[in-house]
Amino acid sequence: MPRLLTRLLLGLCLAALLLPFPLHAQTDTQSYRSDVLGVTFQYPKGWALREQLAAQTVLAAPEGDIEGLAEGKAPSGVLFSLTLSTLRQMGARNTDDFPALLLKYTLNAEGTPQPTRIGGATGIQLIQLDEKQDLAIQTAILSIGKRRVAILRAVSTLAVWRADGEAQLGRLLESLSFFPPPEGTDVDTIGIPLWQLAADAMPDLTGLSVSNDGALIYAVDAQRGIWQINANGTAQESPLTFPQVGSYGRLITRPDNSQYLADPANHIVWRRAPNTNSVARFFGGTLGAGRGAFGEGMPRQFLFSGRNVYAVDENTNGVRVQVFAAGGAVMTFWDMARELPEAQNVLLGADSSGNLYLLAEGSNGLLKLDASGRVLARGIGAAWLADSQPLALAVDRFDNFFVATADSGILQFSPSGELVGVIGEPYDESAPPKAGQLARPVALALAPSANLLYVADVGKYPQVVAFALDGNISENLAAASAAAGEIAYAEVRRGALSDQTFLYTYIFTGKAGDVVTITLRAEGFDAYLDLLQPDGKVIAFNDDVGANTADLAPTDAQITAFSLPRNGVYTIRVTRFGRETARGAVGDYELRLSVGQP
């Protein structure tokens, strides 16, 4: 049994037990809080706690059980672990993959996962009582916002579980709360979603392009063709298709309104002349590694810059950039295999000076090349891009970079690589997206004016979204915010949101260890609630309660049983999901502040 316990825990997240973790001194309250992980909970007196921030893991157990587990001894109490990850890191597309993932972490992969809500987050859990192995195991996977995931595991003997272990764990889980880690919370949110268009008829979006007058957006589906969308977000009924095209990829609209379409199935870039409904081969058509030929599933990325056309090719010899003349004749290629070893799905962009940029997962930021292929800079934006999965790249006429990522929305960088802000909000696809929410933004296109960004988002709920790039949302919020004064424990306050004032702030004085519950009931809008500690950092938030209860609707918001980390004046912000983007979502609200026992 001890050997099985060790395997169960180490297999999930506790390989770090063999590392020299610091042992936290116990306090009267036995309260744990990590600003790095964005989690807080209370654990029993007599327990020890260890963390490994590099592994995003924390372990709590009775004193001596942690060391005993490494030595193969049976635990005297409950062993509790929590690991934070992301959907991408776990290999999950969305929350639909949670049941299969949960069974990977459970004993003998048996049982039926059940819905659960822990720490204000929804997910699934499985409790297994194994008489043969003398084990009680509770495992849960939670979606904690913005495609972040928490994996919870508790293990004990059956005797411990039936005595007080299950109740002890329940009290710990009741005190558990998640909040946004400080890293990235001070980054400005930019871009206001103007409209979103459900693209159920185009589930395999691969490209976007905009007409020169900005009146039409062209959304490309790999198998279904090119969908024309008006600038107000209404789509034409039938897509454009061409019999010669095997698969539809990146689309570029030129100043003369001619269009160029990548066809990875046939290794061709096609040209569509202005005002015609037919295409002709522009370049490519051969599978291979020779000049002008392309590897399997290529080309996907190409662009016009200066007098040439550049196309990324990933073949058996590695990554290269092929250079074609404006008429389509192949000129040369640049071998990038040394700069981008084993890279896949390489993205390509160009600035107004004719410099090119390459980006791929693991490339440690953008690679900058001049028009002759010479490397000018490496690692542009590396601090934010090194651990991301980039999905799309665009460069505006001011040489700002827009990088769509799998987990972090769309990142905008200055020409020097400094992060300007984030566009859109990642979400777990557990429900259709709200305004501005993005799952997998795989294609970007900028309007000619550079003040509009169009995004093709795929996944469970494919969509095309238009964002207005007209400044910092935090500046807009300040103009539509109002201070509503103090709120006391056990007090109920009422108010109303309008399009002119859609955010109200309330303050209260709290003490370290106070356990507060903040409830926002709304009529006419999707409630959003967050809590700021005395230094102004967000330490807790909630969008949807998620299920009907006797007192709350699914779109009401509640921060439940949150333990305040310090003495001071706290701020509650009452608003609606989407804030200024949710125009018309107005109505009355009721705010309640309650305090329980620490």
CB 337 within 8 A of CB 350: no
pLDDT greater than 50 at residue 129: yes
In percent, the amount of the chain with pLDDT more than 90 equals 53
pLDDT digits (tens, 9 = 90+) for 369-388: 999 999 999 999 998 898 78
Tell me 564's DSSP state. P
Q: Please name the residue that has the structure tokens 């509503």.
A: 484
> Residue range 406-425: average pLDDT?
89
If pLDDT is split at 50, 70 and 90, which confidence band does 193 have? confident
108 confidence band (pLDDT: 50, 70, 90): low
Average the pLDDT over each of 486-500, 522-536, 538-552 and give the range with the smallest value: 538-552
Residue range 384-408: average pLDDT? 91
How many CA atoms does the CB half-sphere of 468 hold within 13 Å? 13
pLDDT of residue 580: 54
Contacts of 478 (CB under 8 A, 6+ apart): none
pLDDT of residue 537: 83
Please provide the DSSP assignment of 454-513 as one string: EEEEESSS-EEEEEEEEEEHHHHHHHTEEEEEE--TT-EEEEEE-SS--EEEEEEEE-TT
Strand-strand pairing, 259-263 and 251-253? antiparallel
Distance from C-alpha of 297 to C-alpha of 514, rounded to nearest angstrom: 58
Nearest to 272 by CA among 247, 284, 298, 254: 254
Rounded (to 5) percent helix, strand, coil in the chain? 10, 45, 45
Q: How far apart are CA 311 and CA 291, in angstroms?
A: 12
Domain 480-596 CATH assignment equals 2.60.120.380: yes
Residue 205, H or E segment? strand 205-210
CATH classification (class only), 190-475: mainly beta
CA distances from 99 to 13, 111, 584 (A): 18, 10, 37
Length of the chain: 598
Confidence of residue 274 (pLDDT cuts 50, 70, 90): very high
For residue 70, report the phi and psi dihedrals to the nearest 5 degrees.
-65, -25
User: Averaged over 440-464, what is the pLDDT?
Assistant: 93
Portions of the chain given CATH number 3.40.1000.10: 2-178
The DSSP output letter for 16 is G
**Band (16; pLDDT cuts 50, 70, 90):** very low
| Mean pLDDT score of the chain | 86
Confidence (pLDDT) at 182: 61
* 216-230, 250-264, 451-465, 478-492, range with the lowest pLDDT: 478-492
What would the mean pLDDT of 269-295 be, rounded to a whole number? Answer: 96
Cα-only R_g, the chain: 27
* Residue spans in the chain of domains classed CATH 2.120.10.30: 190-475
Is 28 a residue whose pLDDT tops 60?
A: no
Would you say 299 and 282 are in contact if contact means Cβ atoms under 8 Å apart?
no
pLDDT tens digits along 338-369: 999 989 999 999 999 999 999 998 888 999 99
Residue 249 half-sphere exposure, CB side, CA atoms within 13 Å? 22
Residues of the chain with CATH 2.60.120.380: 480-596
**pLDDT band per the 50, 70, 90 thresholds, residue 500:** confident
**Angle (CA) 284 289 295, round 5°:** 65
Query: Phi and psi of 201, rounded to 5°?
Result: -80, -5
First and final C-alpha spacing in the chain: 36
At 111, the pLDDT band (50, 70, 90 cuts) reads: confident
List the alpha helices (DSSP H) in 310-392.
Answer: 382-385
Average pLDDT estimate for 33-37: 85
pTM more than 0.85: no
Predicted confidence (pLDDT) per residue in 426-441, tens digit: 888 888 998 889 999 9
pLDDT tens figures, 546-589: 665 667 888 899 988 888 989 999 999 998 876 655 556 789 99
Pair of tokens at residue 548: 């009907």
What secondary structure letter does DSSP report for 26?
A: P
Residue 461, CB-side half-sphere exposure with 13 Å CA sphere: 20
Q: Is the pLDDT of residue 394 over 90?
A: yes
**Residue 266 confidence (pLDDT):** 98
Residue 121 sits at φ, ψ, to 5 deg, of -115, 145
Provide the CATH topology of domain 2-178: Protein Transport Mog1p; Chain A (3.40.1000)
